A and B are shown apart, each in its own frame.
Chain A
Amino acid sequence: MPESMDDSKMTATPLTRVLGILGIVAGVLMAVLGLFISPPDVVQGEAVRMLYLHVPSIWIAYGSFVLTSISSLLFLVRSRRREDGGRHYDRIAGSAAEVGVVFTGLTLITGMLWGKVTWGTYWQWDARLTTTVLLFVTYLGYLALRRLPADPIVRGRRAAVMALISFINVPIVHYSVDWWRTLHQKASLSVGRRPEITGEMYWTLLYSALTVTIVGAWLIVHRYRVIRLEEIRDEENLKMLISSRRHERPTGSAADGEVS
């Protein structure tokens, strides 16, 4: 393996290790708070505990998609001015989108389980659920687009445009419960509106959001580094292949391979 790979094959740094340990500790405490310390709900009973995973998951998904959009915009605007062709922004966009898709999937799964207990059904095609699954599918499409073979800069531009188009759905998902009649309840917390959650449950929800944010940030940083390592690996492989080709030329027929 080339030396440059050895030097940078780890995705962890002291800071991300601290972040990872913090995420694990915070996750354990979140489980204790959510499962044992916070009280059952007066209507939903124990089922309310799903709130502490379901709601923060979609918040982090929204945050990740915001990051994807900003990075995509920066890629489109600044790619020509940067030495790396803006691939730094492209990597951020890709890693954030992957984390966003994971958390959107988690939101859908926890929502279905919660819905079965409370609504009496796993799924209904109401506006919130429909737009959320649409969000999931469009960002899956975005990730698929990133995997298609093309020049990295061309692929980055295509992906950036799709990321910006996909983001249109994020506010639609969030406000769908206000704009249309849905089976889904209104937003649990909104800016400028008094929360309808009592003390312990409210603080557990905020704490869970903080925990999921730490885990999400940790995942994005590591995913970014894995993407960068994959690029280094491909560049090194290409160099090795070109080098081996140059040495393959049969002796005594130097003129055959010369380009005039």
Chain B
Amino acid sequence: MDLTPRHEVEETEDVRQLIHRRRRWAILAISVVLIAALAFVTAQGLRNATLFFRNVDEAIDQRADLGTSRFRIQGRVIPSSVQGEAGVTTFQIVHECAVAAVRHTGDPPELFESPWIPVVLEGRWVEGESKTVAGADSHYFRSDRMLVKHTNEYASANEGRVSEKPPAGFLDDCSFEVPVDSS
């Protein structure tokens, strides 16, 4: 605790100035670290937050503009379309009745096996014939990073409500039928 000087006025003043300088530097250092942290977090947030992913229908509409650039695409996995071998998984994702074929390299997260799970994939459009439940397509999506986007719906596993059927109303307006995996 800093009180008034006793006898050696000059020396105490020096000490006081030293303490004051150190405090000033400490305040400055803390401020710089905090401002840098805030700037970093805000920059990251602004860059990614507004458009974290494109839904399948948007990614197909914007295919010409996207070209071969890397982006994230989001859709629900059609369970009957999943096939995997030698570290490559192929499947189809759907959103708003738009379907994209996907060729994913790498191990999918554990929850990928859940029927109709929404996923966010990182990758790019690649030119190449593909067949989806909605018909033939001139491109497929090549991904090397998969994130499972689970919903805020929670249900007891004891009730045995795992279903291969799409979520209620999800494909009602679509012009195609999705085969149900009987396996």
Give the B-binding residues of A (Cβ under 8 A).
39-45, 48, 51, 117-121, 124-127, 130-131, 133-134, 137-138, 140-141, 144, 148-149, 176, 180-183, 185-188, 196-201, 234, 237-238, 241-242, 245, 248
In contact, B38 and A241 (Cβ under 8 angstroms): no
- The contact sample of 5 A-B pairs, CB cut-off 8 A, is A39-B157, A42-B162, A130-B49, A137-B34, A140-B34
Q: Which residues of B sit under 8 angstroms from A133, Cβ to Cβ?
A: 41
What are the residues of chain A within 8 A of B162 when measuring CB–CB?
Answer: 42
A124 to B45, CA, bound (A): 10
CB distance from A129 to the nearest CB of B (A): 9
A134 to B40, CA, bound (A): 10
Say yes or no: B45 contacts A44, CB within 8 Å. no
Please report the total number of B residues contacting A with Cβ < 8 Å.
46
Does chain A have a CB within 8 A of B9?
A: no
B151 within 8 A of partner (CB) = yes
- Interface contact A134-B45, CB-CB below 8 Å: yes
B40-80 at interface with A (beta carbon < 8 Å): 41-42, 44-45, 47-53, 74
Closest to B116 in A: A43
- Residues B1-50 near A (CB distance < 8 A): 1, 3-4, 6, 23, 27, 30, 34, 37-38, 41-42, 44-45, 47-50
Whether B152 is near chain A, meaning CB under 8 Å from some CB there, is: yes
Kindly list chain B residues whose C-beta atoms are within 8 Å of the C-beta of A200: 156
The 6 nearest A-B residue pairs measured at CB: A120-B109, A130-B45, A127-B49, A39-B156, A196-B153, A185-B152
Main secondary structure of the interface of B (DSSP, over half): mixed
What residue of chain A has the Cβ atom nearest to residue B38's Cβ? A137
Is B38 within 8 A of A138, CB to CB? yes
Q: Is the CB of A125 within 8 A of B154?
A: no
Query: Contacts A127-B45, A183-B120 known; A117 to B110 CB distance under 8 Å?
Result: yes
User: Which residues of the other chain, A, contact B157 by a CB distance below 8 angstroms?
Assistant: 39-42, 45
Contact A238 B51, CB 8 Å, known A41-B154, A119-B149, A137-B34 = no
Chain B residues with a Cβ under 8 A of chain A:
1, 3-4, 6, 23, 27, 30, 34, 37-38, 41-42, 44-45, 47-53, 74, 108-111, 114, 117, 120, 146-162
Cα separation A243 to B21 with both chains bound (whole Å): 29
Q: How far is the CB of A178 from chain B (nearest CB, A)?
A: 11
Given contacts A138-B38, A183-B120, contact A238 B1 (CB under 8 A): yes
Give the chain A neighbours of B159 by CB distance below 8 A: 39, 42, 198
Nearest residue (CB) in B for A189 is B152
Contact present for A125 and B49 (CB under 8 Å):
yes
The answer, among A181, A185, A234, A241, for a CB contact under 8 Å with B53, is A181
Taking the closest CB of chain B, its distance from the CB of A243, in whole angstroms, is 12
B156–A183 CB distance below 8 A: no
Distance of A44 Cα from B150 Cα, bound (Å): 8
Establish whether residues B149 and A176, one from each chain, have CB atoms under 8 Å apart when the complex forms: no
CB proximity of A45 to chain B, nearest CB, Å: 7
Bound: A149/B30 CA distance, A: 13
- Please give me the residue from chain A that is nearest to B149 by CB atom: A183
Is A185 a contact partner of B147 (Cβ separation < 8 A)?
A: no
Please determine whether B148 and A182 come into contact, CB atoms closer than 8 angstroms.
Answer: no
In-complex Cβ contact of A119 among B1, B48, B150 (8 A)? B150
